[in-house]
Amino acid sequence: METIFSRFHLIIVQDPDLKGELKIPEGFNLNLYTKSDIDKVVGSSSNAISFSGYSCRYFGYLMSRKKYIISIDDDCIPAKNSNGEPIDAISQHIINLTTPATPFFFNTLYDPFCEGADFVRGYPFSLRSGVECGLSCGLWLNLADYDAPTESLKPDLKNSRYVDAVLTVPARTMLPVSGINISFNNELVGPALLPAFRLAKEGKVRWETVEDIWTGMCVKVVCDHLRLGVESGLPYVWRQERGNAVESLKKEWEGVKLMEDVVPFFQSVRLSESAVTAEDCVVEIASSVKEHLGPLNPTFAHSAETMVEWIKLWKRVRAN
């Protein structure tokens, strides 16, 4: 564990609902944030933003000044590739973020920038330089990231398929980003990684939230508008079992139902030419959420408000 973490700057955010003191080994380069830090930074400026539960990670995103941020859930350990060798997920994420993405035309041989690959016959030369990558979404072996209904129906369904590929998700195609194993370029898209979509009965296991799904679609819309890429595939992490899907079913249906409105919204939202930064884009998306989704469900109106507050907070923290 030390060999993995000691190379990097670590940010540890204690879930503000979690009592007690964290025991952290010596010798790491880290910042620890607790409820009192959150209160100090956010203060009375926002009632809408919540950093509890899964959302505590977003406080870390807010405070980091690093260019590349990598976030992997605590139920994950390093996986092995198909040759049985341990996967360095951090290195693969950095490769994904630092090599170009190709969102405007599909390359059938997957990532043309990976070793041993290239663009196939017919790929326009004018598109071969690619664009910068904003977000890299890794995958998971063993426990796959299913929702509670799927998990309940197929409790024995494990993901054992190692797909040796990274691909750019094409422009204007939405995907369900899972926050379990991601990295992003903080300078390009940082403000879009936000805690804004909170279910009334938000839970403490992964299938009781869809906040990361919402956030992922925000980032994708921002990347499409700013001509940046979103990559999906390698690296894999190994996920351990936890939680009880059947007990979660009641909570989860709310998220599942809301997706039926959320996805068409993000598929059709278009931003104006005056939106030239991720901050601008998020504010425009929030305004469109308020107008088009707000009347359907109070959760949406609350999300729109939270997104606007988040951008204010983001700017204020950086102005200090």
Binding site for a second copy (CB under 8 A): 82, 105-110, 114, 116-127, 137, 139, 144-147, 150, 154, 157-165, 167, 169-178, 206-207, 210, 213, 216, 232, 255-256, 259-260, 263
CB of 263 to a second copy, least distance (A): 5
SS3 of 118, please?
coil
304, burial (CB in 10 Å: exposed 0-12, middle 13-18, buried 19+): buried
Q: Sign of the C-alpha dihedral, residues 50, 179, 214, 172?
A: positive
Name beta bridge partners: 77: 238
CB of 87 to a second copy, least distance (A): 16
Q: Please count the residues of the chain.
A: 320
User: Which is nearer to a second copy, 289 or 311 (by Cβ)?
Assistant: 289
Beta pairing, strands 30-33 & 133-142: unpaired
CB of 84 to a second copy, least distance (A): 12
Contact of 220 with 259, CB cutoff 8 Å: no
User: Which is nearer to a second copy, 189 or 217 (by Cβ)?
Assistant: 217
User: Which is nearer to a second copy, 16 or 203 (by Cβ)?
Assistant: 203
User: Which is nearer to a second copy, 160 or 274 (by Cβ)?
Assistant: 160
Contact of 267 with 259, CB cutoff 8 Å: no
CB of 86 to a second copy, least distance (A): 18
User: Which is nearer to a second copy, 59 or 265 (by Cβ)?
Assistant: 265
CA distance 235 to 225: 26
CB atoms within 10 A of CB 272: 10
CB of 161 to a second copy, least distance (A): 6
CB of 267 to a second copy, least distance (A): 8
3-state secondary structure 215-264: HHHHHHHHHHHHCCEEEEEEEEEEECCCCCHHHHHHHHHHHHHHHHHHHH
User: Which is nearer to a second copy, 211 or 280 (by Cβ)?
Assistant: 211
